[in-house]
Structure 1
């Protein structure tokens, strides 16, 4: 196994991690912005108001995108890791 192959697998794994975390992070970012704007407009500074909707949204998005994340992980494994193990 060459150094180039190791770096290619690491690059693929990092890119897969970015693609897998993108739906959850984007929903959390948008929801955090909306809740923060709502808190600034109404002067309500309750900590659970920011925490509970984000947790609920993360769980919902996780279940909705679980197939997408599994497909990315399987593609990484089949296209990057298995060829290195087989050779």
Structure 2
């Protein structure tokens, strides 16, 4: 296995990781931003107010994007196993 092949595997794995985690992180970011704006407008300074909406939002996003995320991860692993003999030789 050459250095180029190792770097290709690492690059593909990081890209796949970012692509799979991005929808959940964006949902959490948008909900957190919306609640922060709401807290600023209403002068409510409760730190625990963001937890329940974020949990519900991330869970809903996971239900929506879960099949796609699983498909991307499955394709990556299948590609990795399909090229396993190339990496050994």
Give me the TM-score of the superposition, normalised by structure 1: 0.90
Which residue is 2:53 aligned to? 53
**Quick check: 1:23 aligned with 2:23?**
yes
Distance 1:7 1:84 in 2: 15
Give the CA deviation at 1:26: 0.7
Superposed CA deviations along residues 27-48 of structure 1, whole A, max 9, x for unmatched, are 1111111100000000111122
Which residue is 2:85 aligned to? 86
Distance 2:48 2:35 in 1: 11
Cα root mean square deviation, aligned: 1.1
Runs of 4 or more, structure 1, over 4 Å off, are none
Q: Secondary structure at the match of 2:27?
A: helix
Which residue is 1:40 aligned to? 40
- Structure 2 regions of 5+ residues with no counterpart? none
Give me the TM-score of the superposition, normalised by structure 2: 0.89
- Structure 1 regions of 5+ residues with no counterpart? none
Q: Secondary structure at the match of 2:44?
A: coil
